[in-house]
Amino acid sequence: MTETIKGPLRAPAQMLQEQSYDGHKSLHDDSEAERLGIKAGPIEGPTHFSQFVPYLAEIWGDAWFERGCFSSHFLNMVFEGEKVRVEVDRPAPGATRTKCRAFKEDGTPVLEASASIGPDHGETLLEARMAKLRPAGDLVILA
């Protein structure tokens, strides 16, 4: 049975409120997010990724910082004030990959991920998802 490392609930800060691209605000800006129909600017990906670092460093030590790969798929947005807990499956000794997840306090999934150390890290979560894609076929626009 796989041991799962569970971090504490944390309330990540939204740090990209003032970010802009080519003169326009990003999705992480509250007013831009609201203009797009989202209640506020969501917490950015790297902030979520940072919550996994202590556990991946515990598993792989300096190798995580030297050769680590984190491949994620976001499932739901997190907004400032919401709490998130990360989980990392502890791999068998000598293994170079594992699975990770993050959940909101109410259990809503935030992301799923693969973490690995290379150079031979195997198939990442993104590569596995891309391999399952099929051609769209005939596309139709409904007006």
Please tell me the pTM assigned to this model. Answer: 0.82
Q: Are 7 and 50 in contact (CB under 8 A)?
A: no
Q: Are 110 and 75 in contact (CB under 8 A)?
A: yes
Kindly report the three-state secondary structure assignment for every residue of 113-133: EEEEECCCCCCCHHHHHHHHC
Confidence band, pLDDT 50/70/90 cuts, at residue 18? low
Domains and CATH numbers, the chain: 4-132 (3.10.129.10)
- Quote the pLDDT of residue 19: 61
